């Protein structure tokens, strides 16, 4: 999450508004002369997002606000990130506030937002490296590096918790000491109070007798006063009539207030519904988009790996194919020589066989012919030999015929082609089926995801409707509680349980009509009249028959569900019409005529309201009551019944808060009826939504089953492909075996043909011998020939041996090459082909999945844009509603103020009336005094007064004096001894319980301390391993020939073998800049530049452990030579750009005076200081390089 834009005004040297846009998400360079404001730019970014600038004093704020010419009273810094989130901080002399996306937020809220953007949590702020931090790390001791590691780890948090736990342990010990001391004091105090309790019992008996005597005296005096003055009457204040106009105004204002309250309630409901729903949907979408992006990146990575693997297989395949072709070419090159040697070998073998046969013949002739006596015997033997040889020749020919086979090389080639054609055909058929299934699967998945999206939208509608339902239900509960408070508990229970009883008894709406208050309609003007007249009858339940009422009452009685008053329609007879008197002056109105209800309820309503009329003044009501026996009621609720009894007075119809908390029961009933209808409508909508959800679930399940079926079919196709490949391999193996057999048969056939040739030579010799004359001895020519044959055989045999040796060498090379081809190269090639096909299938699968993910991601992103637009529209509507709400509140407040003024006038009139009514006779005052005294004495049992009933007042007074004298002896008794004893005993038990609680708490604190120590050590070990790993990796990149390591030094264990709280002494650095194997040096033994390299590597390692969205480096290469600057520039470049293992590199913003960082950066910005004001502008790479060169020349000239 990189910085996209920075906006600064009034911060340090940035007086005017400066906006820096077009930041690269990778590497950005800030250049500028010393004092131009580069470090102030980094300070501004740090000011906006870091905790370093929290809790600023006035002096701190003054140092941050521009102090040049002109008056600048505040400053702000605003950062906009890649996702559009903006964070702004504004400070003034007394102002310090944060805002996120234009809304003011607290520091903790901003901290949470930064964490969601990917900033490190805790105190690790090493993604900002200002000037001086590299130097401090360069010269840091091992202990300081250990403290740095603790800071990154968050070990300071564990130490704070440990210290707090130790303080809690100490406080527990102090509290336990105090409790032990208090328990000792309580034991002593309880012993003393036990002695005082005996005296207290005697004193209490005397006080009881005194109390009885006083009550008897007061009762006699009160009886005398009541006899003389119990006929006083109360005068009614005429100023009540003056309040009529004021009450009319209050009634009108109350109607207006009701209207405004209803509007405000509707506005608030709309605001509650809009608040957070779209934001929740957007958050869900962003989470889904993040998941899809992660899947997209994972698939891309897999595709890249699969492609790389495919390329590797292609390379290996090409190498194997080349080697195989090369071997075949070598065999072809050796084949002519091999055939030539074979031919020579065969020719020499034939020659040797011929010479051998001739030699054998001559030797045989020499030995055999000597046995014959005549030509005929010799010829007979020769013919016999010829016949035998012919038979042997025929046998060999028969064997040759048996060796003939139908297979030829061409036929074997045809079989190979047929195998390849069958395999290609089957693979293509299966591939076609697979492509068809893939297309069907893609269509089904698109439909499935579309249904899932619709279902998600439906879920959100369901959540919104449920929220509205809960709000209405809460309002219903509030109204029910308010209504129940205005009636007795059994009635409230009965009305609350009535719906359940109706459902259990399966009663219809015709059987149970409803409450009286729910069945009438009226004008608000007569609301008070109706409530005064009906009273609790408003809650009477009208039913069709008394049988229905009995069933309900029996059910409620059995289950103790409360009680209800019923009005059975069949039991209420026809109500006689009331003959109202003439009303020429409109002095009264029959109340029944101002109430609307269903015709079938006429008798019930007449029973309650028919005998009541509404009058303007109570005097008129008194007259009507006396003359016609009617009940009269005023709009204020004052009432006179037909017997002349008056009820009424001041009615606080607006509640204690001046109209803000009305307690009118009719209002509650009306609101309940409206809320129930509204709840019914909402529940109906909710049921429709739930039905739609069920439909979507059903469709999604059906599609999911189809997707699973297609997936199973694809698996079957894959298994068929595997079986086909195995079958084809088996067929190829069989063809290969046939080829071997064919070669063996050809060789056997050649040997047999050679045998035939040899036999034929012998036959020819014998045939020729038949024509020769008979001689027992060899001729001279034959003897000479025999000797020559021996020499020729020796020479031919020697030539054959030489040719055999060369033939065997050629044959060995050819067979070795063939064996390598058949049993090494070809199997490897087949295996690579199979693996390549499998990888191609995986690659195709990944690409299809990626296409699906891309499509879903695109849809989600489009939906995100749409939701954001809806949120903007909703925010505008909310702003409009809030404005309207403020207007309504202002108008309502004005009405409340008018009401208050009217109520003040009414209160003055009421005060005057009360003052007049308090003028009572002296006898009444005396009566009140005596009554109060009797009340002060408290409850006196009647049976205890019997013994004083016959005594006169004088006797009672005399006896009271005696008791008073006895009580004077107990003036010093502790009258609260018993109470104190019980109180101290209870306190002792409480202290003992507290002591036990403190003991248990102390054990839990000790357990917590041990756990915190272990967690602290584990956190330091884990973080150190990560930092050490990344330090070694980054150091190797910066110093390729060298090696670097981090070493954590531990303290020696204590004598008892247990580790102390802090087991580490420090973190050391050992490096070698010249070799990976030479002895390494510690940091203290290095030069300044080498120390700086170690410090930079350590900072980059810390950043890799806890990554941040961006990094700020302020002249980190200042103390390095060119080689190390180049290496660090390369490392930063690698970290800031994409690779196959990360989604995207981190953003770097660096300041420098060196060219090495400039060479690989993406964006360049220059800070200039003009007219006491810093400005920033984007420059080209060439301009940046020219500036650095100019700065270098200037520094050289200064030196």
Please identify, among 751, 774, 797, the residue that sits at the C-terminal boundary of a domain: 774
Q: For residue 659, how many other CB atoms are within 10 A of its CB?
A: 22
Which tokens is 824 given? 């090494």
Reported as a single tens digit per residue, the pLDDT across 412-471 is: 666 667 777 776 777 777 777 777 877 787 788 778 778 877 887 788 788 888 888 888
> Average pLDDT for residues 742-769, to the nearest whole number?
68
Reported as a single tens digit per residue, the pLDDT across 575-590 is: 777 878 876 545 688 8
Please identify, among 758, 774, 790, the residue that sits at the C-terminal boundary of a domain: 774
Reported as a single tens digit per residue, the pLDDT across 1178-1191 is: 999 898 888 888 77
pLDDT value at position 1057? Answer: 43
Minimal CA–CA distance to 128: which of 1106, 1164, 1145?
1106
Identify whether 729 is part of a domain. yes
- 550 vs 211, higher pLDDT: 550
- Model confidence at 6, pLDDT cuts 50, 70, 90, reads very high
pLDDT value at position 232? Answer: 43
- Model confidence at 656, pLDDT cuts 50, 70, 90, reads very low
Q: Is the pLDDT of residue 405 over 60?
A: no
Q: How far is 300 from 297, CA to CA, in rounded Å?
A: 5
pLDDT value at position 298? Answer: 83
1158 and 1117 within one domain: yes
pLDDT value at position 1105? Answer: 78
Among 131-140, 626-635, 648-657, 666-675, the minimum mean pLDDT is found in: 648-657
Q: Is the pLDDT of residue 406 over 70?
A: no
pLDDT value at position 403? Answer: 58
pLDDT value at position 2? Answer: 85
Q: What is the DSSP letter of 823?
A: I
> Average pLDDT for residues 127-154, to the nearest whole number?
72
Minimal CA–CA distance to 351: which of 809, 799, 1019?
799
Determine the 3-state secondary structure of 6 from DSSP. strand
Q: For residue 148, how many other CB atoms are within 10 A of its CB?
A: 20
Q: Is the pLDDT of residue 1056 over 50?
A: no
Q: Is the pLDDT of residue 685 over 80?
A: yes
Reported as a single tens digit per residue, the pLDDT across 146-159 is: 777 777 666 666 66
> Average pLDDT for residues 553-564, to the nearest whole number?
89
Among 665-669, 984-988, 1072-1076, the minimum mean pLDDT is found in: 984-988
Reported as a single tens digit per residue, the pLDDT across 80-90 is: 998 889 999 99
Identify whether 110 is part of a domain. yes
pLDDT value at position 531? Answer: 85
**Residues 778, 782, 785, 787: what is their CA dihedral angle, to the nearest 10 degrees?**
10
Task: State which H helix or E strand residue 415 sits in.
Answer: helix 409-484
626 and 532 within one domain: yes
What is the domain-level CATH number for residue 35?
Answer: 3.40.50.300
- Model confidence at 1069, pLDDT cuts 50, 70, 90, reads confident
Is the pTM higher than 0.85? The answer reads no
Identify whether 914 is part of a domain. no
Minimal CA–CA distance to 731: which of 405, 406, 420?
420
- 653 vs 836, higher pLDDT: 836
- 832 vs 91, higher pLDDT: 91
pLDDT value at position 19? Answer: 93
What is the domain-level CATH number for residue 399?
Answer: 1.10.287
- Say if CB 16 and CB 1173 are below 8 A apart: yes
Q: Angle, to 10 degrees, between the axis of helix 665-770 and the axis of helix 527-534?
A: 100
Q: How many CA atoms lie within 13 A of 263 on its CB side?
A: 16
764 and 650 within one domain: no
Identify whether 668 is part of a domain. no
pLDDT value at position 407? Answer: 46
Among 533-537, 847-851, 921-925, the minimum mean pLDDT is found in: 921-925
- Model confidence at 7, pLDDT cuts 50, 70, 90, reads very high
Q: How many CA atoms lie within 13 A of 718 on its CB side?
A: 13
- Model confidence at 655, pLDDT cuts 50, 70, 90, reads very low
Identify whether 146 is part of a domain. no
Among 670-684, 884-898, 912-926, 1065-1079, the minimum mean pLDDT is found in: 912-926
512 and 499 within one domain: yes
Please identify, among 739, 774, 809, the residue that sits at the C-terminal boundary of a domain: 774
Reported as a single tens digit per residue, the pLDDT across 246-295 is: 666 666 666 677 676 667 666 666 666 555 455 666 777 778 788 878 88
Total tally of structural domains belonging to the chain: 3
> Average pLDDT for residues 1084-1109, to the nearest whole number?
78
765 and 633 within one domain: no
Q: Is the pLDDT of residue 942 over 70?
A: no
Among 190-199, 353-362, 550-559, 992-1001, the minimum mean pLDDT is found in: 190-199
- Model confidence at 962, pLDDT cuts 50, 70, 90, reads confident
Identify whether 203 is part of a domain. no
- Model confidence at 77, pLDDT cuts 50, 70, 90, reads very high
- 997 vs 695, higher pLDDT: 695
Minimal CA–CA distance to 1110: which of 30, 79, 119, 43?
119
Minimal CA–CA distance to 947: which of 938, 958, 956, 935?
956
Give me the percent of the chain exceeding a pLDDT of 70: 74
503 and 477 within one domain: no
> Average pLDDT for residues 1085-1089, to the nearest whole number?
76
1197 and 1132 within one domain: yes
User: Beta strands 1147-1151 and 1110-1114: pairing type?
Assistant: parallel
- Say if CB 1033 and CB 211 are below 8 A apart: no
535 and 642 within one domain: yes
What is the domain-level CATH number for residue 522?
Answer: 3.30.70.1620
511 and 642 within one domain: yes
766 and 729 within one domain: yes
Task: State which H helix or E strand residue 1054 sits in.
Answer: none
1114 and 1192 within one domain: yes
For residue 469, give its domain range: 373-486+688-774
Among 38-42, 196-200, 919-923, the minimum mean pLDDT is found in: 919-923
pLDDT value at position 955? Answer: 75
The mean pLDDT of the chain is 76
Minimal CA–CA distance to 341: which of 804, 753, 812, 749?
804
Q: What is the DSSP letter of 373?
A: -
pLDDT value at position 739? Answer: 65
Identify whether 940 is part of a domain. no
704 and 612 within one domain: no
Q: Is the pLDDT of residue 1160 over 60?
A: yes
- Model confidence at 654, pLDDT cuts 50, 70, 90, reads very low
Secondary structure (DSSP) of 270-306: HHHHHTTHHHHHHHHHHHHHHHHHHHHHHHHHHHHHH
Reported as a single tens digit per residue, the pLDDT across 778-807 is: 667 767 767 777 787 788 788 777 777 777
pLDDT value at position 961? Answer: 77
Identify whether 563 is part of a domain. yes
Q: How far is 926 from 229, CA to CA, in rounded Å?
A: 10
> Average pLDDT for residues 663-691, to the nearest whole number?
82
* Core vs surface per residue 1128-1154: b (16+ CB within 10 A) or e: bbebbbebbbeeeeeeebbbbbbbbbb
Q: How far is 923 from 423, CA to CA, in rounded Å?
A: 127
pLDDT value at position 29? Answer: 92
Among 318-322, 377-381, 908-912, the minimum mean pLDDT is found in: 908-912
């Amino acid at each position: 999450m990189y910085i996209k834009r920075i906006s600064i005004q009034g911060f340090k040297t940035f007086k005017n508004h400066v906006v820096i846009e077009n930041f690269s998400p990778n590497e950005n360079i800030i250049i500028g002369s010393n004092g131009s404001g580069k470090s102030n730019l980094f300070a501004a970014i740090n000011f906006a997002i870091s905790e370093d600038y929290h809790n600023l004093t006035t002096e701190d704020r003054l140092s941050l606000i521009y102090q040049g010419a002109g008056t600048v009273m505040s400053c702000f810094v605003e950062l906009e990130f890649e996702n559009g989130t903006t964070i702004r901080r504004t400070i003034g002399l007394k102002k310090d506030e944060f805002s996120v996306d234009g809304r003011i937020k607290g520091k903790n809220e901003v901290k949470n937002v930064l964490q969601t953007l990917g900033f490190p949590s805790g105190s690790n702020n090493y993604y900002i490296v200002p000037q001086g931090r590299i130097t401090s790390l360069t010269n840091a001791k091992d202990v300081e590096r250990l403290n740095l590691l603790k800071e990154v780890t968050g070990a300071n948090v564990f130490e704070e918790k440990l210290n707090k736990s130790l303080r809690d342990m100490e406080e527990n010990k102090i509290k336990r000491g105090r409790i032990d001391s208090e328990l000792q004091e309580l034991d002593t105090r309880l012993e003393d109070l036990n002695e005082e309790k005996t005296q207290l019992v005697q004193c209490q008996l005397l006080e009881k007798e005194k109390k009885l005597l006083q009550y008897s005296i007061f009762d006699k005096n009160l009886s005398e006063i009541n006899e003389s003055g119990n006929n006083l009457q109360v005068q009614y204040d005429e100023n009540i009539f003056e309040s009529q106009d004021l009450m009319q105004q209050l009634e009108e204002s109350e109607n207006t207030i009701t209207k405004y309250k209803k509007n405000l309630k509707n506005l608030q409901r709309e605001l509650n519904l809009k608040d957070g729903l779209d934001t929740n949907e957007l958050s869900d979408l962003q989470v889904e988009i993040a998941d899809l992006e992660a899947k997209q990146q994972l698939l891309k990575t897999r595709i890249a790996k699969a492609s790389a693997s495919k390329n590797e297989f292609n390379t290996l395949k090409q190498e194997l194919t080349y080697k195989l072709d090369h071997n075949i070419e070598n065999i072809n090159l050796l084949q002519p020589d091999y055939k030539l040697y074979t031919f020579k070998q065969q020719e020499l073998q034939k020659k040797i066989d011929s010479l051998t046969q001739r030699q054998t013949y001559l030797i045989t002739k020499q030995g055999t012919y000597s046995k014959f006596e005549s030509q005929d015997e010799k010829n007979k033997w020769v013919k016999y030999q010829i016949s035998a040889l012919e038979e042997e020749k025929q046998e060999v020919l028969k064997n040759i015929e048996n060796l003939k086979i139908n297979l030829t090389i061409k036929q074997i080639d045809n079989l190979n082609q047929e195998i390849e054609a069958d395999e290609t055909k089957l693979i293509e058929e299966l591939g076609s089926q697979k492509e068809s299934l893939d297309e069907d699967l893609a269509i089904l998945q698109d439909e499935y995801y579309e249904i899932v999206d619709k279902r998600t939208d439906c879920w959100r509608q369901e959540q919104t409707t449920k929220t509205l339902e809960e709000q209405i239900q809460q309002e219903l509960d509030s109204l029910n509680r308010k209504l129940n408070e205005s009636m007795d508990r059994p009635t409230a229970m009965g009305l609350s349980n009535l719906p359940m009883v109706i459902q259990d008894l399966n009663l219809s709406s015709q059987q149970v009509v409803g409450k009286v208050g729910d069945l009438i309609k009226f004008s608000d003007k007569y609301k008070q009249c109706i409530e005064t007249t009906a009273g609790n009858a408003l809650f009477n339940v009208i039913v069709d028959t008394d049988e229905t009422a009995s069933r309900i009452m029996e059910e409620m009685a059995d289950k103790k569900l409360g009680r209800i008053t019923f009005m059975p329609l069949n039991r209420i007879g026809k109500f006689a019409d009331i003959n109202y008197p003439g009303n020429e002056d409109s002095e009264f109105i029959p109340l029944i005529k101002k109430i609307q209800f269903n015709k079938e309820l006429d008798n019930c309503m007449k029973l309650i309201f028919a005998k009541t009329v509404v009058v303007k003044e109570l005097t008129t009501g008194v007259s009507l009551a006396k003359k016609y026996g009617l009940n009269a009621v005023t709009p204020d609720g004052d009432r006179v019944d037909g017997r002349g009894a008056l009820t009424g007075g001041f009615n606080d119809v607006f509640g204690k808060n001046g109209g803000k908390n009305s307690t009118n029961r009719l209002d509650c009933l009306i609101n309940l009826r409206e809320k129930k209808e509204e709840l019914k409508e909402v529940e109906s909508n909710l049921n429709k939504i739930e039905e739609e959800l069920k439909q979507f679930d059903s469709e999604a399940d059906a599609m999911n089953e189809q997707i699973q079926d297609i997936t199973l079919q694809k698996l079957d196709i894959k298994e068929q492909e595997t079986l086909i490949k195995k079958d084809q391999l088996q067929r190829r193996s069989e063809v290969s075996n046939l080829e071997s057999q064919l070669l063996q048969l050809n060789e056997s056939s050649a040997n047999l043909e050679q045998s035939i040739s040899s036999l034929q030579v012998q036959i020819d010799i014998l045939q020729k011998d038949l024509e020769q004359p008979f001689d027992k001895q060899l001729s001279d020519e034959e003897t000479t020939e025999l000797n020559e044959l021996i020499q020729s055989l020796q020479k031919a045999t020697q030539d054959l041996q030489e040719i055999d040796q060369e033939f065997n060498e050629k044959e060995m090379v050819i067979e070795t090459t063939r064996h390598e081809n058949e049993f090494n190269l070809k199997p490897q090639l087949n295996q690579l082909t199979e693996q390549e096909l499998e990888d191609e299938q995986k690659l195709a699968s990944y690409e299809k999945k990626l296409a699906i993910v891309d499509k879903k991601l695109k849809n989600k992103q489009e939906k995100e844009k749409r939701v954001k637009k809806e949120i903007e529209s909703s925010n505008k509507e909310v702003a409009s509603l809030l404005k309207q709400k403020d207007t309504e509140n202002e108008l309502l407040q004005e009405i409340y103020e008018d009401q208050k003024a009217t109520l003040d006038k009414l209160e003055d009139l009421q005060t005057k009336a009360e003052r007049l009514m308090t003028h009572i006779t002296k006898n009444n005052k005396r009566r009140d005094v005596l009554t109060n005294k009797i009340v002060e004495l408290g409850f006196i049992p009647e049976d205890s007064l019997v013994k004083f009933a016959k005594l006169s007042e004088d006797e009672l007074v005399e006896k009271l004096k005696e008791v008073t004298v006895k009580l004077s002896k107990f003036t010093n008794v502790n009258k609260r001894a018993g109470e104190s004893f019980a109180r101290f005993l209870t306190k002792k038990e409480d202290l003992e319980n507290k002591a036990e609680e403190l003991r248990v708490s102390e054990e839990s604190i000790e357990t917590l301390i041990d756990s915190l120590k272990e967690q602290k050590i584990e956190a330091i070990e884990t973080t150190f391993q990560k930092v050490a790993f990344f330090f070694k990796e980054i150091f190797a990149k910066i110093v390729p020939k060298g090696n670097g390591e981090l070493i954590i030094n531990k303290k020696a264990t204590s004598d008892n073998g247990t580790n102390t709280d802090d087991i580490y002494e420090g973190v050391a650095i050992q490096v070698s800049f010249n070799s990976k194997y030479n002895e390494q040096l510690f940091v203290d033994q290095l030069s300044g530049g080498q120390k700086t390299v170690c410090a930079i590597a350590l900072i980059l390692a810390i950043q890799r452990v806890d990554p941040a969205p961006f990094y700020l480096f302020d002249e980190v290469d200042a103390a390095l030579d060119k080689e190390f600057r180049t290496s660090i520039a390369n490392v930063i470049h690698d970290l800031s750009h994409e690779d196959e293992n990360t989604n995207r590199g981190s953003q770097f913003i660096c300041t420098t005076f060196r060219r090495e960082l400039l060479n690989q950066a993406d964006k360049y910005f220059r800070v200039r200081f003009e007219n006491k004001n810093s400005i920033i502008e984007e420059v080209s790479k060439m301009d940046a390089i020219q500036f650095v060169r100019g700065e270098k020349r200037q520094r050289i000239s200064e030196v």
